[in-house]
């Protein structure tokens, strides 16, 4: 890819003239390199992709301080779609070394016998202004163009296997002294891994070749059936068992067998006895649980019977006493009733009149008490007139709005001094408000306060609107 194509694309997007193509191109590359970090990629619309890379510097170009340089790799959108690594452009951002300025004899030239040029300050200032304006316009357009790009992390423009001819030559120029310890360690690891891999490959190849040689030497017949293979396996197993078992057992071996059998039988008996013991134990536990339940039921039933008996016997003597008392009453001889004595009628009439008068007095007293009870206590009424007014049921609704059960009032201020409160009421009345003082004794402060109020309002909203409109 040619550099000129990229320059034309940049000029087309920025809409700058071709006269300053080099300046525009340099400032564009510089701005892109400032935006990107190493191995970051930016996609700019209608231009392509740019990736910032670090490249080692060859010995000829190397300065004492710099061993690497920054480069920009450019690929167009078309080359990205084609999935090829051939069409890319490598752009250098910063010069690796500066050439020493050549010595000029004209520095010491006094311009004797030469025509003098007239220096016009106005022209130079105008030229400076145009240059600055041009520079500012270039920088602003390039800044907008780069800012419109999208930065992509972890996006590689080139495959790692693809290396240009220039990079190969530069890699050859790097000396052993310039290689870092980390790079040496990585190289050694890669080398050791490759050696292990090669050894395993060699071993596999040797084994395969040996197997081939064996096949060719012995010419195994692959026409053996599965039945024949099974017979061979069975015969081999029988031979192994026969080899493991001795042909004739000695008397010592027979004794050992008998002892082992006895031990096995004892172990089996112990195991069986243990299982029987466990079964018996579990059955006994079950029986114990059943017996415990029966005992609990018996105790509960006995306790209930005792309770019933106690209740019965405690209540029985009272009935017997009543029965004996009735029997004694019936058996006692009744005395004869004497004849009624004559009563004086005058005395009886006076007694009757006294009794009637006392009954009338009692009835009157009782009726008065009932009337007093029946008359309901009338709730204290709110006084809506005067300078000092009483509010029996004063409830705070908001910070400044209060409710007495019927109407709403607004508290303007609260004073200990009567005179200040009265002056405040007069001031509010001059403004046309219905102002008054409401006295309240506050226990926490142990003092009586004169609260200046304004009223009366039918609703809470009306009171709030009054506060807003009058700014009290």
pLDDT-based confidence at 389, cuts 50/70/90? confident
pLDDT-based confidence at 419, cuts 50/70/90? very high
pLDDT-based confidence at 310, cuts 50/70/90? very high
Whole-number average pLDDT of the chain: 69
Give tens-digit pLDDT for 356-365: 555 555 655 6
What local confidence, expressed as pLDDT, does residue 91 receive?
Answer: 81
pLDDT-based confidence at 343, cuts 50/70/90? very low
In the predicted model, is pLDDT for residue 274 greater than 80? no
* Spatial distance between the Cα atoms of 282 and 152, rounded to a whole number of angstroms: 76
What local confidence, expressed as pLDDT, does residue 303 receive?
Answer: 93
pLDDT-based confidence at 198, cuts 50/70/90? very low
Of 118 and 263, the structure prediction assigns the larger pLDDT to: 263
In the predicted model, is pLDDT for residue 102 greater than 60? no
What local confidence, expressed as pLDDT, does residue 306 receive?
Answer: 92
In the predicted model, is pLDDT for residue 39 greater than 70? yes
Q: SS3 string of 35-84? A: HCCCCCEEEECCCEEEEEEEEECCCCCCCCCCCEEEEEEEECHHHHHCCC
Most confident stretch, 70-79, 241-250, 324-333, 411-420? 411-420
Average pLDDT of span 298-303: 93
CA 36, 39, 42, 46 dihedral sign is: positive
* Spatial distance between the Cα atoms of 396 and 408, rounded to a whole number of angstroms: 10
pLDDT-based confidence at 221, cuts 50/70/90? very low
pTM: 0.31
pLDDT-based confidence at 209, cuts 50/70/90? low
Of 10 and 248, the structure prediction assigns the larger pLDDT to: 10
In the predicted model, is pLDDT for residue 334 greater than 70? no
Residues 6+ apart with CB under 8 A from 467: 400, 401, 410
In the predicted model, is pLDDT for residue 376 greater than 90? no
Average pLDDT of span 364-383: 56
Give tens-digit pLDDT for 139-172: 888 888 888 888 888 778 776 444 443 444 444 4
């Amino acid at each position: 890819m040619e550099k000129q194509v990229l320059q034309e694309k940049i000029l087309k997007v920025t809409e700058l003239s071709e006269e300053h193509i080099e300046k525009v191109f340099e400032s564009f590359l510089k701005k892109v390199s400032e935006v990107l970090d190493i191995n970051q990629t930016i996609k700019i619309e209608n231009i392509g992709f740019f990736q910032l890379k670090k490249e080692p510097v060859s010995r000829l170009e190397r300065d004492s301080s710099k061993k690497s340089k920054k480069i920009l790799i450019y690929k167009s959108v078309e080359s990205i779609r084609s999935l090829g690594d051939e069409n890319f452009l490598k752009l250098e951002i910063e010069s690796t070394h500066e050439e020493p300025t050549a010595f000029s004899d004209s520095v010491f030239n006094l311009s004797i016998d030469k025509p003098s040029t007239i220096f016009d300050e106005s022209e130079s200032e105008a030229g400076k202004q145009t240059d600055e304006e041009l520079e500012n316009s270039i920088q602003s357009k390039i800044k907008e163009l780069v800012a419109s790009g999208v930065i992509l992390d972890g996006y590689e423009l080139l495959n790692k296997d693809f290396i240009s001819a220039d990079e190969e030559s530069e890699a050859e120029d790097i000396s052993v002294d310039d290689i870092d310890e980390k790079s040496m360690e990585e190289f050694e690891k890669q080398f050791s891994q490759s050696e292990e891999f090669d050894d395993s490959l060699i071993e596999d190849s040797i084994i395969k070749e040996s197997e081939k040689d064996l096949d060719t030497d012995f010419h195994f017949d692959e026409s053996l059936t599965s039945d024949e293979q099974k017979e061979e396996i069975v015969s081999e197993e029988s031979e192994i068992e026969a080899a493991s078992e001795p042909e004739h057992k000695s008397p010592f071996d027979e004794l050992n067998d008998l002892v082992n059998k006895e031990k096995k039988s004892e172990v089996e008996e112990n195991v069986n006895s243990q299982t029987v013991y466990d079964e018996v134990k579990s059955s006994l536990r079950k029986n114990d649980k059943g017996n415990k339940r029966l005992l609990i039921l018996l105790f509960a039933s006995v306790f209930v019977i005792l309770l019933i008996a106690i209740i019965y016997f405690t209540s029985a003597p009272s009935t017997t006493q009543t029965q004996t008392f009735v029997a004694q009453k019936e058996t006692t001889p009744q005395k004869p009733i004497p004849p009624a004595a004559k009563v004086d009628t005058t005395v009886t009439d006076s007694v009757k009149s006294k009794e009637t008068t006392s009954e009338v007095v009692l009835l009157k007293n009782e009726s008065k008490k009932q009337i007093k009870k029946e008359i309901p206590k009338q709730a204290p009424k709110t006084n809506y007139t005067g300078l000092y007014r009483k509010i029996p049921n004063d409830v705070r609704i908001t910070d400044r709005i209060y409710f007495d059960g019927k109407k709403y009032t607004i508290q303007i201020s609260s004073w200990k001094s009567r005179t200040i409160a009265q002056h405040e009421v007069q001031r509010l009345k001059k403004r046309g408000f219905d102002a008054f003082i409401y006295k309240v004794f506050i226990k926490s402060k142990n003092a009586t306060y004169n609260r200046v109020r304004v009223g009366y309002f039918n609703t809470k909203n009306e009171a709030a609107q009054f506060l807003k409109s009058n700014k009290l």
